[in-house]
Structure 1
Amino acid sequence: MKNIYFEDEEIKINDLYFICYMIERIARHLHQKNRYVVNGIAKKEWYHLISCANVLHCANPLQVEADWIKEYGLEEGRYDITDVDGELVSKIPSPLEMGEVYQRLIVDTLGKDEDFVEGMIRVYNDEICNTIDNYNCSAFYEPSYVIARAYQNGGF
């Protein structure tokens, strides 16, 4: 995938990782599902954001989070991904960890004519996210090839 501003520059997997990390941060901050954040920002803007990711990752993530919430008019919800059964969950994965889970799933299931933005929108809108984001189960801890196979098979 090419950077929309610098056509000789390739978008890297780490740029996608940063985007997935920020989606997770914003969703948790707003008490929304990741799907809300992905669908709340226009596809054209995702191309802008991923093209700027190599610079944005150097900025304070709290500021990037606040900027995206304000700029894209994202609103507070009532979904709390961290509301888990304490007897089943000893540690909630961090936004960085979940960003990596989603980045790998997108890359592992990317179609031959699909770019990172299209793959991101596809994955975050799939029902498998309800299982991956249920921290009372262990789906997010599975190796990336197991998660990708579950995605391709329609669930775990």
Structure 2
Amino acid sequence: MTEADKDDLFYVCSLVEFIARKTKNKRGVVANRLGVDGFAKQLKDAQVNHCLSFEQVGEEIVDQYKIPQGDFESVENCKYDIPSYTDIGNLYCIMVLDCAKNGDEIETAIKIFTSPISDYISNFNSDCYYQNPSYLEESFKAGKLL
């Protein structure tokens, strides 16, 4: 994977986090709505979309993929400093790059976003986000926090 491809993956992971927060959905809802084809399209469009605001791109994706309004609140009730959506996007990007076999990045990203580990990462009242990515990757592989 080239550096440009890694940047695009980081952008799309951050975009999934951004949309999930805005629509109050679990990250897996957004990833499932995109699906493999939608995720691939967002990766392809990422270099152009970098120039646009997350708000604009996110709104277009919500409309195009009919992402519903949810009730999963990860930001409003947080007692602590909230990591930015790009901080979380970076964590997901690292996990995907470390866990995916070459060519399976999209499928792995969707699996990570829809895994129980994603819900733990999204609980900003816990310290899960701050854990070492290797720990989170091994927890993802195990299907539970270790």
Alpha-carbon shift at residue 83 of structure 1 (Å): 4.1
Letter in 2 for 1:20: C
1:68 and 2:61 matched: yes
Letter in 2 for 1:45: G
User: 5 Å matches for 1:5-154?
Assistant: 12-84=5-77, 86=79, 90-112=80-102, 114-154=103-143
Aligned residue pair count: 145
Counterpart CA distance in 1 for 2:125 and 2:104 is: 32
Letter in 1 for 2:118: C
Which structure carries more helix by proportion?
2
- Unaligned runs of 5+ residues in structure 1 are 2-8
Counterpart CA distance in 2 for 1:140 and 1:49 is: 25
Per-residue deviation, residues 74-126 of structure 1 (Å, max 9, x unmatched)? 1111111114452xxx20111111101111111111135x4221111111121
Structure with higher Rg: it is 1
TM-score normalized by the length of structure 2: 0.89
Alpha-carbon shift at residue 63 of structure 1 (Å): 0.6
Using the TM superposition, name which of 132-141 and 143-152 deviates more: 143-152
TM-score normalized by the length of structure 1: 0.84
Against the structure 1 CA distance between its residues 11 and 45, is the aligned structure 2 distance closer, same or farther, given a 3 Å change threshold? farther
> Would you identify which runs of 4 or more consecutive aligned residues in structure 1 move more than 4 Å?
none
Letter in 2 for 1:27: A
Does the Cα contact within 8 Å between 1:11 and 1:51 map onto a contact in 2?
no
Against the structure 1 CA distance between its residues 109 and 82, is the aligned structure 2 distance closer, same or farther, given a 3 Å change threshold? same
Residue identity over aligned pairs, in percent, reads 24
Letter in 2 for 1:151: F
Q: Relative contact order (C-alpha < 8 Å, sep 6+): which is higher?
A: 2
Counterpart CA distance in 1 for 2:28 and 2:104 is: 18
Does the Cα contact within 8 Å between 2:117 and 2:136 map onto a contact in 1?
no
Counterpart CA distance in 2 for 1:136 and 1:60 is: 28
Letter in 1 for 2:142: N
Does the Cα contact within 8 Å between 2:11 and 2:46 map onto a contact in 1?
yes
Against the structure 1 CA distance between its residues 11 and 122, is the aligned structure 2 distance closer, same or farther, given a 3 Å change threshold? farther
Q: CA RMSD in A?
A: 1.9
